[in-house]
Amino acid sequence: HLESFDEGFRLAQADELLGELADETLPVILAGDFNSPAPDGQTYNFLTSEFEDAWVHNVLPNEGDGNTAPHAYDLLNPTANLTRRIDLVLVRTPNPHPGSQPIGPVQATVIGDELQDRTAAGLWPSDHAGVVTTLHLRGTK
């Protein structure tokens, strides 16, 4: 979970995260609330300079743009009006073939965004919807 309100702090967190992973030679999957909207957020663009955004490879029809936020702070909003895609699955794989795509077809869906997902008391499960993703990584054994 990166910083919610301060872009400079969020960028510093993302830089530290990528620094910790810089020498990793195995595939890396980052998933979480990055608090930077795709596709135009500054931190999103920084992260996707090294990682692939799995959602852009989604092959499932009718999944929309993957928006996951926000639900109301009290979780009592009567409908889901999710307008930002800030919960992401980001992938980096060793890529032995220049120009080849490291991610194969992705199946991704948003959960926690339907009225039937609310509790009996009418609460949404979280202040964000979730993302469930099935990845096919190329160039890995």
- pTM for the whole structure: 0.89
Ordered DSSP codes for the chain: ---SS-HHHHHHHHHHHHHHHTT--S-EEEEEE--S-TTT-HHHHHHTTTSEEGGGGB--TT-TT---B---TTS--SS----B--EEEEEE----STT--SB--BEEEEES-SGGGS-TTS--SSSS-EEEEE--BTT--
Per residue in 85-132, pLDDT (tens digit) is 999 999 998 765 666 666 778 999 999 999 999 999 999 999 999 999
The pLDDT confidence band at residue 139, using thresholds 50, 70 and 90, is: low
7-134 has which CATH code?
A: 3.60.10.10
Per residue in 13-41, pLDDT (tens digit) is 999 999 999 999 888 999 999 999 999 99
